[in-house]
Amino acid sequence: MSTHTNRASTAAWANQVGFLSALFTMFGGILYFIVILSAALTGTFTFPPGQAIQIFGGISSLVFCPLLVLMMAALHTVTPQPKKVMSQASLGFTLLFALAVSINRFSQLGVVRQAEVAGRLDGISWFQAYGDYSIMLGLEYLGWAWFLGLAMLCAAPLFSGGRLEQWIRWLMVLYAILGLASSVGFLLGNWLSLLGFVAWGFVLYIIAGLLAVYFRRKTSLVENR
């Protein structure tokens, strides 16, 4: 009885963490989309983006990283034992994603921004988010395209059954295809790299919204037992 109670308590906690992290990820994505769309409609959006949008994007990414780790950790916790190897692999790739993107964005908001303010620009273009031959842009693609693409590819088989699960499954597959193709495009320096913006600028937040519903349903099932 005690073991069953502990498992139920762990599942309840995991579902709640998963629900909240997925929900905040979805709303954060909507906010980011609105900011970019507003800038585009008012004619203030440029490429590379202006300083204000770059700072907003950097802060947003730093927030998304722990949220996605929490979301995947919750998913790993509630995954049945036979499939845990895939959920654990997905969590591991998500951790690598968070590490790569956090290094990039933390450096951008700290060292790079402070160097630009101080006027010390020698060699800084390699470390700017959108500089020519930017190391940091490489880290961004390593995280969002390669590692998160692999994370979604590993997580997709965890979902089967109902319509909600099928939507999550195939959207994760779509993210993986777009992300991995984008990472290859980045390495080759061709147009495929642009596919990633659809993956982490749009598809990801639909996945997060559906996962919020998924975790909420699992919470209700645990409470009704």
The answer to whether residue 119 scores a pLDDT higher than 80 is no
Q: Is the pLDDT of residue 225 over 60?
A: no
Q: Got the DSSP string for 135-203?
A: HHHHHHHIIIIIIHHHHHHHHGGG--SSHHHHHHHHHHHHHHHHHHHHHHHHHHTSGGGGGHHHIIIII
Confidence at 224, pLDDT banded by 50, 70, 90:
low
pLDDT exceeds cutoff 50 at 1? no
Each residue's pLDDT tens digit, 61-93: 999 999 999 999 999 999 999 999 999 999 999
**Alpha carbon distance 220, 225 (integer Å):** 9
Any idea what DSSP says for residue 126? G
pLDDT of residue 55: 87
Q: Which residue has the higher pLDDT, 178 or 108?
A: 178
The pLDDT of 120-134, averaged and rounded, is: 74
- pLDDT over 70, % of the chain: 92
How far is the C-alpha of 73 from the C-alpha of 47, rounded, in Å?
35
35-60 average pLDDT score = 83
Return all residues near 80 (Cβ < 8 A) that are at least 6 apart: none
Q: What is the predicted pLDDT for the residue at 140?
A: 93
Mean pLDDT, the chain, rounded, equals 90
